[in-house]
Amino acid sequence: MDKFLELNKAQRQAVETTEGPLLVLAGAGAGKTKTITYRILNLIQKGIAPENILAVTFTNKAAKEMGERILKLLGEAPELNRPVSLIGRPFVSTFHGLGAFIIKENFKEAGVKKHFSIYDREDSKRATKEALIKNGYDPKQFEPSKILAIISREKGNFVSVDKYFEFASEDYFGDIVSKVWQDYEIILKKENALDFDDLLLVAAKLLQKEEIRKFYGNKWKYIHIDEYQDTNKVQYQIAEAIAREHQNICAVGDVDQNIYTWRNASIKNILSFEKDYKNSKLVVMEENYRSTKTILEVANRIIEKNKLRMERKLVTKNAVGERVGIFEALTENHEAQFIVEKVKELQKQGVAFSEIAVLYRANFQSRVLEEEFLTGDIPYQVLGTRFFERKEIKDILAFLRFSFNPESISDLKRIINVPPRGIGKTTLLKIVEGKEELLPAGMKIKMNSFRELLRRIKNFASQNPPSKTILFISEEVGLNKNLERTEEGVERIENIKELAVLASRYDKMFLEDGQGKKWEEGVEKLLEDTSLASDQDSDKEEKDGVRLMTVHASKGLEFSYVFITGLEEGLFPHDKDRDENVSEEEAEEERRLFYVAITRAKKKLFLSYAQTRTIFGNRGSNIPSEFILEIPDEYLEHEFLDYTPKRKPLLHIEF
């Protein structure tokens, strides 16, 4: 078929290798979706029934796109000699969709009723909350989302609630999770429901039954697994069970883009493919259709330092392109100003805002960027939650506001149980109605304790700089202790510390009398400005805006112009990379993350770092990230703002 002439040599090899296990290492921008769809077309042209073909990916969007491409190709293949509607369809789905399909066809063996419900994450949180209450725990003290994250992680590792109980029950928090998990499962069964993790776990257990495994092994004789590097233990077992009958499995992935170990994705699945599947074939797709030669050469230089990978090098027939811009900022604000100025330049050249992305390692970095984009009147969209809309930020500011304005009912409602202190809606209603004298003695004690907390906050805020007050509130209220158990919680703590950085701008706004310095003015101005910024944020819903996001969120996306910010040791790579207890796999993930960030860019890449950055309330000097120090000078050009000192950047100083 003439269409196959569109494929390069490696793509064609992957398409034409139809029998036996096949591992396709597809680098960034190498056209893996195109290769999978053409391979499926080739199978159908060779006489394989479409119903015998399975293609699995990770997102509904990717599954939909793949299904549409396959349908389009079939419609353009006249040699099939029949309308598309009569050709039949391959089964294209996410892993969760595949699991649901298998369970529905075997509901009796699965122990569920035919028409079972599927819990989404909100349903699961609700059930977890119910289980917490049933066991006598306060859902606001033990957040359902945290408990659910642990349950999800364990299910993804093929761990049952009983098995978890065996090794976790002696730990205080583990014991709580065990009890809640047990009742969570009871709720699921009572409501004839399965959660997202069950769709995989139950399907995997069904496939352990020989009769069921053989049935699906013969149903889907040809299997395609996209993003194979992101599979966890359960997903691996599902794919292996179906493929065992005929061994016609095509795994497509990229070792260098494995960045989800914290979601249980195991890089070992792709690294051990050739060992797991005897007589397997390997196709390496190295040609990139996205980026310039310069961008790819930089990406190659970075990723070759990793040991846990399969040797390959991205190449392209695209133009050499511009050198990578490198900007040494004086501060994080200076960095943000540089980005805004560059964006304005690109706009004048006719570049759409939506073709520009700004990437950062941690969510808290967005605050300075958002502020500068607002000041520069540049439309933007944050993928994720905007800084001032984040719960922990709203909580801290509400405590501060209410301590100075006890008439703010909305702030009272927000903070009265943050963290949980056993004050219910009935109590709150009486307080709002001015009937506090009717409260039971025990509740009066709790309210007195709460008021004492607010008094301490107000006194501290009056006598200390706003930046110290933010950190004081977080510690005094107990937010730090409440958040530190999960990776999400650690990030929230970082956001609070970033709020303290913002507050430091108001540290010089004080009045001095005979009794010392008073910071009420600074506090009031901080609260005013953050409220206005928040309002401004919520009103700005531009469609054509610069995209701001974490590097994790950028996976699978591409942009003509990409800025990677905060490239300093301790920030990117993250501090966790320095932990001596971190595994080699985890340590190398930071480098893979940088590689993913680089390969999002099509035309031009900008890297930036700051000589000094205020992190966690402390301004410290930084050294450039080891990543940019590894890029040869020939691929770099130094960028300047008009007021940037024209001196030798730190990048070239030997450490």
| Catalytic residue IDs | 32-33, 226-227, 257, 600
Would you put residue 360 in left (φ > 0), alpha (ψ -120 to 50) or beta? beta
DSSP strand E in 78-149: where?
A: 91-94, 117-118
Beta bridge partners of 549: 359
111: phi then psi, degrees, rounded to nearest 5? 80, 25
Could you tell me the two tokens for 344? 């304005």
The total of other beta-carbon atoms located within 10 Å of residue 261's CB is 17
Q: Is the dihedral of CA 186, 192, 195, 198 positive or negative?
A: positive
* DSSP one-letter string for 329-340: ESSHHHHHHHHH
Beta bridge partners of 56: 93, 225
∠540-541-545 over CA atoms, to 5°?
95
The total of other beta-carbon atoms located within 10 Å of residue 134's CB is 15
Of the candidates 257, 251, 197, 202, which has an alpha carbon nearest to the alpha carbon of residue 223? 251
What SS3 state is found at 553?
helix
* DSSP one-letter string for 436-481: GGGS-HHHHHHHHHHHHHHHHHHHHHHHS-HHHHHHHHHHHHTHHH
Q: What is the DSSP letter of 323?
A: P
Looking at residue 470, its amino acid is I
344, 329 contact by CB (below 8 A): no
Q: What is the DSSP letter of 322?
A: P
69 CB-side CA count, 13 A: 19
* b/e map 312-350, b = 16+ CB within 10 Å: bebebebeebebbbbbbbbebbbbbbbbbebbeebeeee
* CA–CA distance, 253 with 256 (Å, rounded to integer): 9
Q: Is the dihedral of CA 496, 502, 508, 513 positive or negative?
A: negative
* CA–CA distance, 161 with 179 (Å, rounded to integer): 9
* CA–CA distance, 165 with 174 (Å, rounded to integer): 8
In terms of Cβ atoms closer than 10 Å to its own Cβ (0-12, 13-18, 19+), residue 444 is: middle
Looking at residue 342, its amino acid is K
* DSSP one-letter string for 210-265: HHHHHHHHHH--EEEESSGGG--HHHHHHHHHHHTTT--EEEEE-GGG---GGGT-
Could you tell me the two tokens for 245? 């009958």
- Helical (H) or strand (E) element with 34: helix 32-45
* CA–CA distance, 105 with 103 (Å, rounded to integer): 5
Q: What is the DSSP letter of 624?
A: B
Of the candidates 639, 644, 648, 646, which has an alpha carbon nearest to the alpha carbon of residue 608? 639
* CA–CA distance, 554 with 559 (Å, rounded to integer): 10
